[in-house]
Amino acid sequence: MFKKYINLKAISIYFIQQKKLIIRLILVMILASSLGMALPYFISQRIIGITDTIPIIVIKSSLIIMCIILFHHIFWFLWSKLASVLSNNIAANIRKDIVQKMFDIKYMNIRNNSSGYYLERINDDVTEVSQFLSNVLGVTVDCLTNFSFLIFMYILSWQCALIFTIGIIVMYFIDITKTYKDLQFTKELKTLQEQYNSKTNENYKGIKDIKGLGIKNIILNNTSYLSNNIAKLTTKKDATFAFYSRIKTFLQHFLETLIIVYAICFLIPKDAITVVALLTIINYIGFMYDLVEYIARYKNYFISGEYKASRINELLQNTDVENWGNIDNVSSYSIHIKNLCFKYKDTETEVLKNINLELPENSLSLFIGNSGSGKTTFFNIISKLIEIDNNHIYIGNVDINNFTQNFLRNNICIINQEHFLINDTILNNIKLVKANATLEQIYQVCKTANIYEEIINLPNGFETVVLENGSNLSGGQKQRISLARGLLKNAKIYLFDEPTSGLDKENQEIFFKTILELKKEKNVLVIEHKLNNYTIFDNVYKLTDGNLNIIKSVS
Give the model confidence (pLDDT) of 445-464 as tens digits. Answer: 999 999 999 999 998 999 99
**Torsion angles phi and psi, residue 438, rounded to 5:** -85, 160
Q: What is the pLDDT of residue 1?
A: 45
93 and 213 share one domain: yes
Tell me whether strands 493-497 and 393-395 are parallel, antiparallel or unpaired: unpaired
Query: Per-residue pLDDT averaged across 350-369, rounded?
Result: 92
Given 316, 343, 368, the domain boundary residue is: 316
In this model, does residue 168 exceed pLDDT 90? no
Task: Report the C-alpha gap between 320 and 330 in whole angstroms.
Answer: 27
| 130 class by beta-carbon count within 10 Å (0-12 exposed, 13-18 middle, 19+ buried) | buried
- pTM for the structure as a whole: 0.77
Residue 120 lies in a domain: yes
306 and 414 share one domain: no
Tell me whether strands 335-342 and 352-359 are parallel, antiparallel or unpaired: antiparallel
CB 124 within 8 A of CB 152: no
- Residue 395: helix, strand or coil by DSSP? strand
312 and 171 share one domain: yes
- DSSP lists the bridge partners of residue 524 as 364, 494
357 and 479 share one domain: yes
Residue 547 lies in a domain: yes
Alpha-carbon distance values, 109 to 112, 197, 395 (Å): 5, 19, 25
Q: What is the pLDDT of residue 293?
A: 77
In this model, does residue 80 exceed pLDDT 60? yes
Given 251, 283, 316, the domain boundary residue is: 316
Residue 248 lies in a domain: yes
CB 87 within 8 A of CB 134: yes
Task: Report the C-alpha gap between 280 and 274 in whole angstroms.
Answer: 10
Residue 462 lies in a domain: yes
174 and 274 share one domain: yes
Task: Report the C-alpha gap between 340 and 184 in whole angstroms.
Answer: 47
Between 283 and 271, the more confident residue is: 271
Tens of pLDDT, residue by residue over 228-247, are 999 999 999 889 988 888 88
Residue 325 lies in a domain: no
CB 388 within 8 A of CB 342: yes
Task: Report the C-alpha gap between 497 and 445 in whole angstroms.
Answer: 19
Q: Strand 493-497's sheet: what is its strand order?
A: 412-415, 493-497, 523-528, 364-368, 539-544, 547-552
Residue 196 lies in a domain: yes
66 and 176 share one domain: yes
Task: Report the C-alpha gap between 237 and 235 in whole angstroms.
Answer: 5
Query: Per-residue pLDDT averaged across 133-138, rounded?
Result: 88
Task: Report the C-alpha gap between 45 and 43 in whole angstroms.
Answer: 5
Q: Which of 492, 132, 172 is nearest to 304 (CA)?
A: 132
Q: E strand or H helix at 364, and its extent? A: strand 364-368
Upper half-sphere CA count for residue 170 (Cβ side, 13 Å): 15
302 and 344 share one domain: no
CB 137 within 8 A of CB 294: no
Residue 327 lies in a domain: no
| Residues 429-462 as b or e (16 or more Cβ within 10 Å = b) | bbbebeeebeeebbbbbbebbbbbebbeeeeeeb
Task: Report the C-alpha gap between 499 and 364 in whole angstroms.
Answer: 14
Task: Report the C-alpha gap between 521 and 411 in whole angstroms.
Answer: 12
The Cβ of residue 6 has, within 10 Å, a number of other Cβ atoms equal to 13
CATH number at residue 534: 3.40.50.300
Q: What is the pLDDT of residue 209?
A: 62
Mutual angle of helices 505-518 and 475-489, in 10-degree steps: 10
Given 257, 283, 316, the domain boundary residue is: 316
CATH number at residue 49: 1.20.1560.10
Task: Report the C-alpha gap between 209 and 15 in whole angstroms.
Answer: 46
303 and 348 share one domain: no
Q: Which of 186, 179, 183, 198 is nearest to 230 (CA)?
A: 186
- Residue 414: helix, strand or coil by DSSP? strand
Tens of pLDDT, residue by residue over 180-231, are 888 888 888 888 888 888 888 777 777 766 766 677 788 888 888 888 999 9
258 and 406 share one domain: no
Query: Per-residue pLDDT averaged across 383-387, rounded?
Result: 91
- Among 141-150, 443-452, 467-476, the minimum mean pLDDT is found in 141-150
In this model, does residue 126 exceed pLDDT 60? yes
Residue 324 lies in a domain: no
Alpha-carbon distance values, 368 to 37, 107, 375, 455, 552 (Å): 79, 24, 7, 32, 12
- For the ranges 192-206, 268-282, 344-358, 397-411, the maximum mean pLDDT occurs at 397-411
172 and 62 share one domain: yes
Average pLDDT, the chain: 87
- What is the domain extent for residue 69? 8-316
Tell me whether strands 523-528 and 493-497 are parallel, antiparallel or unpaired: parallel
Please give the tally of structural domains in the chain. Answer: 2
100 and 214 share one domain: yes
- Residue 492: helix, strand or coil by DSSP? coil
Q: What is the pLDDT of residue 210?
A: 72
367 and 298 share one domain: no
Between 301 and 143, the more confident residue is: 301
